[in-house]
């Protein structure tokens, strides 16, 4: 996935919008490519309305009568953990959803690597102890098949994911498994410097259409049931989905973590431009 | 009570049950759709054993309803039957409708009432649920009722009066066999066992209630009337059908007035004629016969209607010097009930054959030759001595032989004639076609024939007069035997003179009446009851006639014997009433519909 054109373009166009203030613990040890809130001065630029007034250089104003802003090097956490839900539900509805999940994983991995850190990417499936995927091993991600039946919550609770403190955690999942959002997010945010929660849904999961009678098969539990997918049933489904998203968003706000839902069919670049940038997860390089 | 399926093939429908189970177990009703988060679709999540591919049969409402519907359909098709529920004994009873069944033994009920009692015992023995069909023997087999409950049959039985003269029982037996075929028993109630030469149905039981009884009765009666003396004469014959001599009294009444009474002694098996004069104008006489030992009343009473005078009015429109006038006047004066009248009043006009009459339906015309009275015509006429060709079937020639008759003055007719008497190519006596008038022409010159001197002449003319009399409207006979056809002419010709608003024609008998079809000749087939009948045309009485019972066979009660003839073949078939399972089928159908609708509703909810 390192050489995926969309991933490459995204990595070249955007950089991670990490928090200026650490959530907890000591500050980051790595300096980012962009400006940030570190003490290392990087350069000046002209003041533009909206800039933080605290960064105005009054001395330079005295010398040149120009309002200048002091820009400092960005300070980021030294470790980034990317948790990719490897369960079967991530490959439902065609290829768009697993592709986007892989692309986002690779993109954040590469972006974190460019910042000088060594990102750890965990593919959460049924293995008891999950190995982390390095940037060099990103090519293995291309053929990942999403065959796990264990959901994300169970894997984290079981300690299968070797999470480290003060890391920036990016969690990529559809979150369409039975769980308590508050508990799950609390576990994911535990000891993390920052947490990003990204929900990937395909078009049918986001906006199902009336298909009539279908034998619904759950991708993970394999439970089957006959249903008539009609407007009433769709309305009920959407109510439950919105409730889930609302609870996830609420739990993320408590953990000072951004939460956003992206539509798989939009493609990586659109998601980066429309969703990630708007949420502050990415910014233009 | 045994239980069985009337249509066991319907149980094949039970094969649908495992089919439905298999469908629910293996068949994916809808196209599969792999989804994430099935719980968000409102489906309860459950834990399944990992790796397990086939689940247990889901006991769903849909499965249960479909199984129930299939089971009900199968059972409904199989028509479950509980033993003999809904089936009862069907007793087909043939009642001997002979008048002798009215005979009443001393100190005992009549054979008819005994038959009714036997029937009641038989039905009660079969159970109150048994159904009965009652039919009577006779020239026309009648079904009184049935299949019906005994309560209803009793009402029909109460109205049964056996009055028929002797007749064949076979048609009634055949009808009973047809009715009872496969679902009933046959019982024949009579007053004598059939002889060996008769072959009743093998499955029929015969119960005879008769016994030898004494009886006297009328064997015939008629009323003549002499128009000249205006005095009537009653001719009757009575017979003693018993085995002992009987003192017999006879009494004739007209209304409340006794006309005559006399007594006589009849030895066993003897008969005697009785002739009594009665004055004219009485109208109706009732003659009754009394005897100490008399078992059958129906042949003891005779009612007679006084005959009406039906004169034929004849007009002789011939010249005074016509050669036929003398012979005609002579023969007409000798015939009964003939009046010489004027042409406008006449029923029959006699005129010269050369002049055809007007066309009228109620006119009879006799033309007398010669056709051409001129000298040339007379000269060309021929005389014949036979042989003559007679249309023997023609009513005019009944008894006519024309032996030794010289038929003289034969000419060529100026119009067509349908031959009645002919010789060679010559028509001697013929009917004129193409006219509504009944026209007959003599190709004859009475001056050159000896026909008027031959014995055939009065016979021929009497036949003509009686034919004309028979064509007059009104009853031609007033006293009939029971089961004898009655007919009369309502009007002459084919056109009803009251065709615009014809009054209703009714036949009244005692308290009953029935309409008769208007036509020129009215036919009343075989009245079945004795007594006086009146024909009414609107408000007017058209005429009356009497029907009396005269049947020596039925009156002779010495051949009646009790007896029992068991059926040769077992007869235990049961009669199926209206399907008692129809409500079960309806209930089953309702439940099937309910189950299918519920199944549909359950599936829709999913």
Tens of pLDDT, residue by residue over A10-34, are: 988 888 876 444 433 334 444 444 4
User: Nearest Cα to A134, choosing from A180, A176, A80?
Assistant: A80
Q: Which residues of A touch B604 (CB under 8 A)?
A: 228
User: Is A244's CB within 8 Å of B40's CB?
Assistant: yes
Nearest to A237 among B31, B33, B40 (CB): B40
- The 10s digit of each residue's pLDDT in B301-317 is 999 999 988 899 999 99
Looking at the complex, does the CB of residue B49 fall below 8 Å from at least one CB of chain A?
no
Q: What is the SS3 assignment for B334?
A: helix
pLDDT at residue B289 is higher than 70: yes
Q: What is the DSSP string of B380-394?
A: H-EEE----EE-TTS
Looking at the complex, does the CB of residue B57 fall below 8 Å from at least one CB of chain A?
no
Looking at the complex, does the CB of residue A176 fall below 8 Å from at least one CB of chain B?
yes
Looking at residue B384, its pLDDT comes to: 87
Looking at the complex, does the CB of residue B27 fall below 8 Å from at least one CB of chain A?
no
CB pairs under 8 A between A and B: 96
Joined tokens for residue B174:
């055949």
User: Is A89's CB within 8 Å of B50's CB?
Assistant: no
Looking at the complex, does the CB of residue A224 fall below 8 Å from at least one CB of chain B?
yes
Give the closest-approach CA distance of A13 to chain B in angstroms.
Answer: 33
Looking at residue B302, its pLDDT comes to: 95
Q: pTM score > 0.90 for this model? A: no
Nearest to B29 among A220, A226, A240 (CB): A226
Q: Which residues of A touch B48 (CB under 8 A)?
A: 221-223
Choice among A27-31, B63-67, B342-346 with the minimum mean pLDDT:
A27-31
Chain centre distance of CA B605: 71
Looking at residue B522, its pLDDT comes to: 92
Choice among A66-80, A124-138, B142-156, B555-569 with the minimum mean pLDDT:
A66-80
Joined tokens for residue B347:
């029923």
pLDDT at residue B52 is higher than 50: no
Nearest to A215 among B30, B50, B603 (CB): B30
pLDDT at residue B192 is higher than 50: yes
Choice among A113-117, A208-212, B509-513 with the minimum mean pLDDT:
A113-117
Q: Which residues of A touch B45 (CB under 8 A)?
A: 178, 218, 221, 223
Q: Which residues of B touch A218 (CB under 8 A)?
A: 35-38, 45
Mean pLDDT of chain A: 80
pLDDT at residue B45 is higher than 80: no
User: Is A215's CB within 8 Å of B42's CB?
Assistant: no
User: Is A215's CB within 8 Å of B29's CB?
Assistant: yes
Q: What CA dihedral angle connects A240, A242, A243 and A245, to 10 degrees?
A: 120
Q: Which residues of A touch B606 (CB under 8 A)?
A: 225-228
Band the pLDDT of B209: cuts 50, 70, 90: very high
Q: Which residue of A has its CA nearest to B47?
A: A221
* Rounded mean pLDDT, B288-300: 92
Which of B24, B36, B606 is the best residue to mutate to test the A interface, defined by the most A CB atoms within 10 Å of its own CB? B36
User: Is B43's CB within 8 Å of A213's CB?
Assistant: no
Nearest to A223 among B30, B38, B604 (CB): B38
Give the total residue count for chain B: 606
Q: What ipTM goes with this model?
A: 0.77
Give the total residue count for chain A: 285
Looking at residue B5, its pLDDT comes to: 74
Looking at the complex, does the CB of residue A228 fall below 8 Å from at least one CB of chain B?
yes
Question: Using the 8-state DSSP alphabet, how is residue B414 labeled?
Answer: S
The three-state DSSP-derived secondary structure of chain A is: CCCCHHHHHHHHHEEECCCCCCCCCCCCCEEEEEEEEEEEEEEEEECCCCCCHHHECHHHHHHHCCCEEEEEEEEECCCEEEEEECEHHHHCCCCHHHHHHHHHHHHHHHHHHHCCCCCEEEEECCCCCCCEECCCCHHHHHCCCCCECCCHHHHHHCCCCCCCCCEEEEEEECCCCCCCHHHHHHHHHCCEEEEEEEEEECHHHHCCCCCEEEEEEECCCCCEEEEEECHHHHHHHHHHHHHHHHHHHHHHHHCCCCEEEEEHHHCHHHHHHHHHHHHCCEEEC
Q: Which residues of B touch A244 (CB under 8 A)?
A: 40
User: Is B32's CB within 8 Å of A223's CB?
Assistant: no
Q: Which residue of A has its CA nearest to B604?
A: A228
Cis peptide preceding B147, ω within 30 of 0: yes
Choice among A37-41, B33-37, B585-589, B599-603 with the minimum mean pLDDT:
A37-41
Q: Which residues of B touch A178 (CB under 8 A)?
A: 37, 39, 45
Q: What are phi and psi of A240, to 5 degrees?
A: -65, -40
Choice among A147-156, B350-359, B384-393, B504-513 with the minimum mean pLDDT:
A147-156
- The 10s digit of each residue's pLDDT in B146-191 is 789 889 999 999 999 999 999 999 999 999 998 887 777 899 999 9
């Amino acid at each position: 996935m390192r050489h995926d054109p969309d991933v490459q373009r995204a990595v070249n166009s955007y950089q991670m919008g990490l928090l200026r203030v650490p959530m907890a613990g000591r500050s980051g040890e790595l300096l980012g490519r962009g400006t940030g809130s570190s003490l290392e001065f990087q350069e000046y630029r002209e003041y533009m309305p909206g800039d933080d007034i605290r960064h105005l250089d009054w001395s330079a104003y005295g010398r040149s009568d120009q309002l200048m802003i002091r820009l400092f090097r960005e300070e980021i956490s030294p470790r980034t953990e990317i948790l990719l839900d490897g369960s079967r539900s991530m490959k439902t509805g065609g290829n768009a959803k697993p592709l986007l999940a892989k692309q986002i994983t690779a993109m954040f991995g590469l972006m974190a690597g460019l910042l000088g850190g060594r990102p750890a990417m965990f593919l959460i499936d049924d293995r008891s102890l999950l190995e982390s995927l390095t940037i060099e091993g990103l090519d293995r991600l291309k053929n990942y098949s999403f065959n796990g039946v264990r959901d994300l919550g169970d894997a984290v609770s079981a300690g299968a994911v070797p999470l480290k403190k003060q890391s920036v955690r990016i969690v990529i999942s559809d979150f369409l498994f039975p769980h308590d959002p508050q508990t799950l997010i609390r576990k994911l945010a535990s000891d993390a410097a920052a947490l990003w929660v990204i929900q990937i849904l395909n078009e049918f999961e986001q906006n199902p259409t009336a298909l009539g009678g279908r034998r619904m098969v759950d991708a993970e539990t394999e439970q089957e049931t006959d249903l008539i997918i009609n407007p009433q049933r769709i309305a009920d489904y959407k109510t439950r989905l919105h409730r889930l998203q609302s609870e996830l968003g609420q739990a993320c706000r408590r953990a000072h973590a951004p939460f956003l839902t992206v539509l798989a069919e939009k493609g990586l670049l659109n998601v980066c431009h429309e969703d990630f940038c708007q949420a502050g997860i990415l910014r233009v390089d | 009570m045994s239980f069985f399926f009337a249509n066991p093939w319907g149980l094949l429908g039970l094969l649908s049950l495992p089919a439905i189970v298999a469908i629910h177990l293996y068949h994916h009703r809808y196209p599969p759709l792999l989804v994430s988060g099935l719980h968000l679709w409102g489906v309860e999540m459950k834990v399944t054993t990992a790796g397990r591919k086939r689940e247990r049969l889901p006991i769903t409402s849909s499965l249960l309803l479909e199984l129930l519907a299939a089971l009900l359909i199968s059972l409904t098709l199989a028509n479950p039957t509980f033993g003999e529920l809904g089936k009862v004994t069907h007793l087909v009873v043939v009642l001997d409708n002979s008048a002798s069944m009215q005979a009443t033994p001393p100190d005992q009920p009549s054979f008819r009432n005994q038959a009714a009692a036997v029937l009641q015992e038989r039905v009660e023995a079969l159970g109150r649920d048994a159904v009965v069909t009652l039919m009577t023997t006779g020239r026309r087999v009648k079904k009184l009722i049935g299949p019906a409950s005994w309560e209803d049959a009793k009402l029909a039985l109460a109205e049964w009066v056996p009055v028929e003269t002797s007749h064949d029982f076979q048609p009634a037996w055949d009808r009973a066999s047809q009715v009872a075929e496969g679902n009933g028993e046959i019982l024949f109630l009579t007053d004598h066992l059939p002889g060996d030469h008769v072959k009743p149905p093998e499955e029929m039981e015969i119960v005879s209630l008769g016994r030898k009884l004494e009886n006297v009765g009328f064997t015939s009666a008629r009323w003549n009337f002499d128009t000249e003396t205006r005095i009537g004469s009653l001719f009757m014959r009575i017979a003693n059908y018993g085995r002992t001599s009987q003192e017999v009294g006879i009494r004739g009444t007209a209304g409340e007035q006794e006309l005559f009474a006399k007594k006589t002694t009849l030895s066993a098996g003897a008969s005697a004629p009785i002739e009594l004069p009665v004055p004219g104008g009485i109208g109706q006489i009732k003659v009754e016969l009394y005897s100490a030992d008399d078992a059958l009343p129906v042949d003891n009473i005779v009612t007679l209607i006084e005959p009406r005078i039906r004169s034929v009015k004849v007009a002789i429109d011939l010249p005074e010097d016509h050669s036929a006038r003398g012979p005609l006047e002579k023969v007409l004066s000798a015939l009964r009930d003939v009046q010489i009248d004027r042409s406008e009043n006449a029923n029959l006009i006699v005129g010269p054959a050369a002049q055809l009459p007007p066309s009228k339906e109620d006119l009879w015309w006799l033309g007398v030759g010669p056709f051409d009275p001129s000298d040339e015509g007379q000269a060309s006429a021929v005389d014949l001595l036979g042989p003559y060709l007679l249309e023997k079937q023609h009513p005019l020639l009944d008894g006519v032989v024309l032996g030794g008759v010289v038929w003289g003055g034969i000419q060529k007719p100026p119009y067509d004639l349908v031959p009645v008497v002919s010789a060679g190519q010559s028509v001697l006596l013929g009917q004129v076609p193409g006219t509504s008038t009944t026209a007959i022409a003599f190709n004859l010159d009475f001056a050159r024939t000896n026909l008027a001197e031959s014995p055939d002449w009065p016979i021929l003319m009497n036949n003509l007069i009686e034919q004309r009399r028979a064509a007059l409207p009104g009853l031609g006979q007033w006293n009939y035997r029971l089961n004898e056809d009655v007919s009369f002419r309502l009007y002459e010709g084919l056109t009803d003179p009251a065709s615009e608003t014809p009054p209703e024609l009714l036949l009244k008998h005692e308290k009953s009446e029935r309409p008769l079809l208007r036509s020129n000749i009215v036919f009343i087939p075989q009245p079945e009851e004795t007594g006086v009948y009146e024909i009414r045309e609107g408000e007017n009485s058209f005429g009356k006639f009497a029907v009396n019972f005269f049947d020596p066979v039925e009156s002779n009660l010495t051949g009646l014997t009790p007896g029992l003839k068991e059926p040769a073949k077992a007869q235990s078939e049961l009669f199926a009433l209206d399907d008692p399972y129809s409500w079960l089928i309806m209930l089953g159908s309702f439940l099937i519909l309910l189950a299918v609708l519920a199944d549909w509703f359950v599936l829709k909810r999913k």
